[in-house]
């Protein structure tokens, strides 16, 4: 069956395909930028669109929902919008009155919008933060869908889809070969793509030139923020790396990126982080800091009430509530922030080993060798 033509016999207008091509190209550009930001986020580099707790591309990028079937969701976006670019360009190159492949373009656009809606629900219900660049890519998907609907009007939307699918069925070997090639390419890409999200984050700033390896027992000062996704990642990686290292003591110092307690902050990057830091201090006062520390970092997406975490950590809730309001707690938090400012801490997480400040991860190469097992 030949591809459909306009009902009046006129060649289909090229305008809708140019609009679809523009939307698809914008989608590729946005998805490519998101793929780059995904890599940077997992390296501990803050992006320009980490604005606050509600609009935070980094929190979305470091969530467990940012990778699908071995590839970042943004890379899937590049592939999907790239397919739309190819179909729109193909339609523009077809001569005569054929509407091919406008029906297929519509199906791809509909899939892109469906994926966008699913990602929006994940952002709202499961992550609790929105990515502005993701939202822009969703708008590109909507633009692509509108343009594809417009492009299919001459032959009718059902007719355009039906005829394009019939054209594929008329060439089953070519269609199957193309599908197998696409699947094989994606599978190979998923295997070859570097799984940087499974590895410790690299430091976002080089260690000072005077960095040196220390010897003997050492104290590591970790400046962190319970609302910082990089801090949560670094916390659990550091805990695993130092298991069985009694010669290394890690001291938490709170540096919440929240102007309600941190005078260095001009805007609320992590609203509520000061209250969470007080919760950690109050857990420490009851000798349950390690338990509460893990729970606070693990709670970034679930957003459970702090008192629920305190109960799970085994705290006396009456004492915990009093401690949260205590001036002594605010004073201890202020001392931690003052220490961060004295040490010129540039970001969270930061680790101080001796006189060396490193951002992003604990520099294990600066620690003394692990003691020999007895």
Is residue 347 located within the same domain as residue 273? Answer: yes
Q: Look at residue 1 in the predicted model and tell me its pLDDT.
A: 42
Long-range contacts of the stretch 72-76 (C-beta < 8 A, 24+) = 72/34, 72/35, 72/38, 72/193, 72/197, 73/119, 74/31, 74/32, 74/34, 74/35, 74/37, 74/38, 75/31, 75/35, 75/189, 75/193, 76/115
Q: Look at residue 258 in the predicted model and tell me its pLDDT.
A: 87
**Spatial separation of the C-alpha atoms in residues 42 and 233, rounded to whole Å:** 9
Phi, psi dihedral angles at 249 (to 5 degrees): -105, 125
Is residue 106 located within the same domain as residue 234? Answer: no
Q: Look at residue 230 in the predicted model and tell me its pLDDT.
A: 83
Whether 203 is covered by a domain: the verdict is no
Task: Among 198, 227, 251, identify where a domain stops.
Answer: 198
Interval 277-335: pLDDT, tens: 999 999 999 999 999 999 999 998 888 999 999 999 999 999 999 999 999 999 999 99
Is residue 90 located within the same domain as residue 37? Answer: yes
Interval 17-52: pLDDT, tens: 999 999 999 999 999 999 998 887 776 666 788 777
Q: Classify residue 367 as left (phi > 0), alpha (psi -120 to 50) or beta.
A: beta
Q: Look at residue 285 in the predicted model and tell me its pLDDT.
A: 95
Whether 151 is covered by a domain: the verdict is yes
Q: How many domains does the chain have?
A: 2
Q: Are strands 218-224 and 248-254 parallel, antiparallel or unpaired?
A: parallel
Q: Look at residue 374 in the predicted model and tell me its pLDDT.
A: 55
Is residue 323 located within the same domain as residue 178? Answer: no
Is residue 192 located within the same domain as residue 229? Answer: no
> Within a 10 A sphere around the Cβ of 349, how many other Cβ atoms?
25
The CATH number that applies at residue 120 is: 1.20.1440.130
Q: Look at residue 96 in the predicted model and tell me its pLDDT.
A: 55
Whether 1 is covered by a domain: the verdict is no
The CATH number that applies at residue 361 is: 3.40.30.10
Is residue 38 located within the same domain as residue 157? Answer: yes
Q: Look at residue 269 in the predicted model and tell me its pLDDT.
A: 74
Structure tokens that stand for 239 in this block: 């805990």
| 22: nearest Cα among 11, 30, 12 | 30
**Spatial separation of the C-alpha atoms in residues 326 and 285, rounded to whole Å:** 12
Is residue 241 located within the same domain as residue 161? Answer: no
Is residue 234 located within the same domain as residue 331? Answer: yes
pLDDT digit string (tens) for the chain, length 374 residues? 444 554 444 556 788 999 999 999 999 999 999 999 888 777 666 678 877 778 888 888 888 899 998 889 999 999 999 999 999 998 888 755 567 789 999 999 999 999 999 999 999 888 888 999 999 999 999 999 999 999 888 778 888 888 788 888 888 887 787 777 777 777 777 777 887 776 544 444 444 434 444 555 789 999 999 988 888 888 998 988 888 888 889 999 999 988 899 998 877 778 889 999 999 999 999 999 999 999 999 998 888 999 999 999 999 999 999 999 999 999 999 999 999 999 888 888 899 988 888 888 888 888 888 766 65
Whether 142 is covered by a domain: the verdict is yes
End-to-end Cα separation, the chain, in angstroms: 79
Q: Classify residue 345 as left (phi > 0), alpha (psi -120 to 50) or beta.
A: beta
Residue 272 lies in domain = 218-366
Q: Look at residue 372 in the predicted model and tell me its pLDDT.
A: 65
């Amino acid at each position: 069956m030949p591809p459909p033509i306009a009902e009046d016999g006129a060649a289909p207008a090229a305008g809708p395909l140019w609009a679809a091509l523009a939307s698809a190209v914008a989608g590729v550009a946005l998805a490519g930028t998101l793929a780059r930001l995904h890599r940077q986020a997992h390296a501990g580099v803050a992006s320009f669109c980490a604005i606050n707790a509600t609009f935070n591309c980094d929190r979305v990028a470091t969530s467990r929902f940012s990778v699908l079937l071995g590839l970042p969701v943004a890379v899937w976006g590049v592939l999907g919008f790239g397919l739309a670019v190819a179909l729109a360009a193909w339609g523009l190159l077809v001569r005569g009155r054929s509407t091919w492949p406008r029906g297929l373009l519509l199906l791809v656009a509909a899939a892109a919008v469906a994926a966008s809606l699913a990602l929006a629900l994940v952002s709202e219900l499961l992550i609790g933060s929105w990515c502005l660049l993701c939202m822009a890519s969703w708008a590109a998907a909507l633009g692509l869908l509108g343009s594809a609907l417009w492009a299919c009007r001459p032959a009718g939307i059902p007719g355009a889809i039906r005829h394009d699918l019939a054209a594929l069925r008329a060439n089953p070997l070519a269609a199957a070969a193309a599908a197998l090639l696409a699947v094989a390419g994606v599978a190979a890409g998923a295997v070859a793509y570097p799984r940087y999200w499974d590895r410790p984050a690299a430091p976002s700033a080089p260690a000072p030139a005077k960095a040196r390896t220390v010897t003997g027992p050492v104290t590591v000062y970790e400046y962190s923020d319970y609302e910082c996704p990089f801090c949560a990642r670094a916390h659990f990686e550091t805990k695993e790396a130092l298991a069985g290292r009694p010669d290394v003591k890690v001291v938490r110092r709170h540096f919440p990126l929240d102007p309600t307690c941190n005078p260095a902050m001009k805007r609320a990057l992590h609203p509520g982080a000061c209250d969470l830091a007080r919760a950690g201090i109050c857990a420490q006062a009851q000798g349950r800091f390690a338990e509460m520390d893990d729970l606070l970092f693990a709670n970034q997406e679930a957003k459970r009430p702090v008192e629920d975490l305190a109960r799970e950590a085994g705290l006396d809730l009456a004492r915990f509530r009093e401690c949260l309001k205590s001036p002594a707690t605010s004073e201890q938090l202020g001392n931690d922030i003052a220490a961060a400012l004295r040490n010129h801490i540039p970001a969270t997480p930061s680790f101080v080993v001796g006189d060396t400040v490193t951002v992003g991860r604990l520099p294990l190469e600066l620690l003394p060798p692990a003691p020999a097992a007895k």
